[in-house]
Homo-oligomer: A and B are copies of this chain.
Amino acid sequence: MKKEIKHIGVMGAGLVGALLSIYLRKRGYKVSLYEKRDDMRKSSSDSGRSINLALSKRGIKALEDIGVIEEVKKIMLPMEGRMMHSKDGELTFQPYGKEGQFINSVSRGNLNKILLEKAEASGVEIKFEHTCKSVDLEGTSVTFKTPETEKTMQFDLLFGSDGAYSQMRQAMLKTDRFNYEQYYIPHGYKELSIPPTEDGDFAIAPNALHIWPRGQYMLIALPNLDKSFTCTLFFPFEGQPSFESLQTPQQVLQFFKNTFPDSLPHLKNIQDEYFQNPTSSLVTVKCEPWVKNNCVLIGDAAHAIVPFYGQGMNAGFEDCYELNLLLDKHSDDWENTLAEYQEVRKKDGDAIADLALHNFVEMRDLVADDKFLVQKKIEAKLHEKFPDKWIPLYSMVTFSDLRYSEAFEIGKKQQVIMDEVMQKPDILENWENIDLEKIVDKL
């Protein structure tokens, strides 16, 4: 590790790269941020309709920290719980937390623009249309291809915030003793949309994350600022039914009519969208080490996860927040900082990866199960009565900044206890009368 760090390169000006650059610039480093795409602030793509993400406690904490939360609040749409749509159109609402607790639908594009503005205003040098051709882990340098030329840039320290298919990680993968795992679930996803009504209003309730849970698959919808919803169909690639099995517009329409009947009147462009929009895969990546010489992985590049806990962005933002705290703690001694960063965040990255995989089962299947919903109600009552002793797993992950790895461990203990509670034969009828203190004492 080179001791004197003056100039830091950051690869990838997505959400994590932009946030990281701001943090580093604030500490006084010269920061250069590289992005292969063009400047989204100048491009004409309709950002209001782009992918939306769920912003919660950990992400908000970092955005407060760097002083952009007021800007971000303007694009946040609160979602107070899950709205489950049954096959016959019946709605069930399950709050995410206590009253006043909610997660926030934000447009990835809009949030990214706010962070780029802030980065530029802070003095970060941003270079667009710089495609990484290769990373030299020994020399801490990157060769970029630009529309005009090809050039190699050298840094004192280099961060790879270049996402799930990180080029820096690819370079690390070729080095000896790099542990690596990429796992694709058997499901893909496809985006569809619910436009605003003719009156210009939300077509379905805006203050919720909508789920059509159907066992092996599901449809979800998150609200957008323009009163549309972005829907995502999470669906097996192969089998019956699957993306492979739905081949014609008639088959798609029939499938939605049978399976998600109350969504169909709102999905105005489903036939076009289903066949025009791509079917994308869902990957989990775990790797180690995150630090090789003076090159460091962060965000999705270090720990890509599936989207089912709404924590991908939040985890990446927390990486930056924690890294900044560690730099405080170690007075900008990078060797000690990065050693502890990897030690701490690797465990948490693994934990949220596993939690996210498990939450897919919860979202697509369990939330349609009466017993599961009763369990959630019991846990909510436990939390109400013993707010510091029993915090439901979802709340620990979403509304607290307890380490993911600790939340995971506590959650496992809670589940063992709740499995026992839910075995009582009359639990569905008498759950409101059970002895909460006896339960909490088992923890």
Contact = CB atoms under 8 A, between A and B. Distances in A.
Interface of A: 176-184, 237, 281
A202 to B, nearest CB: 35
Contacts of A176: 184, 281
A351 B73 CA distance: 52
A217 B182 CA distance: 30
A355 B438 CA distance: 43
A180 B281 CA distance: 15
A176 B178 CA distance: 21
A180 B181 contact: yes
9 contacts: A176-B184, A176-B281, A177-B184, A177-B237, A178-B182, A178-B184, A179-B182, A179-B183, A181-B182
Given A177-B184, A177-B281, A181-B182, 4 more contacts: A178-B182, A179-B183, A179-B184, A180-B180
Contacts of A178: 182, 184
Contacts of A184: 176-179
Contact of A180 (B177, B182, B237): B182
A183 B181 CA distance: 8
A182 B172 CA distance: 12
A228 B332 CA distance: 55
Contacts of A179: 182-184
A281 B176 CA distance: 7
A179 B184 CA distance: 6
Contacts of A182: 178-181
Nearest to A188: B177
Q: Which of A176, A177, A178 has the most CB of B within 10 A?
A: A177
A176 B177 CA distance: 24
**The 5 residue pairs across chains A and B that have the minimum distance between CB atoms:** A181-B181, A177-B184, A180-B182, A177-B281, A176-B281
A177 B237 CA distance: 10
A357 to B, nearest CB: 13
Contacts of A183: 179, 181
Contacts of A237: 177
Nearest to A182: B180
A279 to B, nearest CB: 10
A184 B176 CA distance: 9
A269 B184 CA distance: 49
A179 B180 CA distance: 11
Nearest to A177: B184
A249 B237 CA distance: 59
A31 B281 CA distance: 36
A176 B243 CA distance: 16
Contacts of A177: 184, 237, 281
Contacts of A281: 176-177
A281 B178 CA distance: 10
